[in-house]
Amino acid sequence: MSGTIPAAAKIVWAGEHRFDANAPGSATIRMDASGKTGTSPVTTLLAAIGGCVSVDVVDILAKRKTPVESLEIDLQATRVDGTPKRLASATLNFDIKGVGIERVHAERAIDLAINKYCSVRDSLREDIPVVWTLTLNGERSEPASAKIY
């Protein structure tokens, strides 16, 4: 088994298609394949990609001394028709606001986050394309494709 940094989680069935997940000492999240009391496991995975990328984007821009004032990502994914209905592609639409953030630096931060630093993205199949857009302080860019390594 490779890897030196352990990750741990516990899943507890809460009836029907509901499951509660947490890591030791952390808050619990609800996953519900029916979508009644929580997000589905696939939506949770999509949100994990967004959360992972967001941490890196915020950190990279803070290191440039251009801190983010707000960051939102609308995420969409397509799924294959077969079984399992895995992700086929993902689109991340970033909306970032912050004084002094230059577009080139925000785009570079997103590219690095998706292609180099996000362990969740890197844990997915390599053939899943990720496309992203950036609206920076109200100005939207054209879609950009993340590199597939």
pLDDT at 4: 73
Domain map (residue ranges) of the chain: 1-39, 41-145
Angle, alpha carbons 84-121-78 (nearest 5°): 45
Angstrom distance (rounded) from CA 117 to CA 65: 20
CA distance 38 to 41: 9
Q: What is the pLDDT of residue 105?
A: 97
Fold type of domain 41-145? GMP Synthetase; Chain A, domain 3 (3.30.300)
Q: Which residue has the higher pLDDT, 140 or 149?
A: 140
- In tens, the pLDDT along 74-105 reads 999 999 999 999 999 999 999 999 999 999 99
Report the pLDDT value the prediction gives residue 92, as an integer from 0 to 100.
Answer: 96
Reported confidence tier of residue 148, pLDDT bands at 50, 70, 90: very low
Q: DSSP state, 83?
A: S
Average pLDDT on 97-115 reads: 96
pLDDT, position 149: 34
What gap in Å lies between CA 39 and CA 19, rounded to an integer?
10
What's the pTM? 0.87
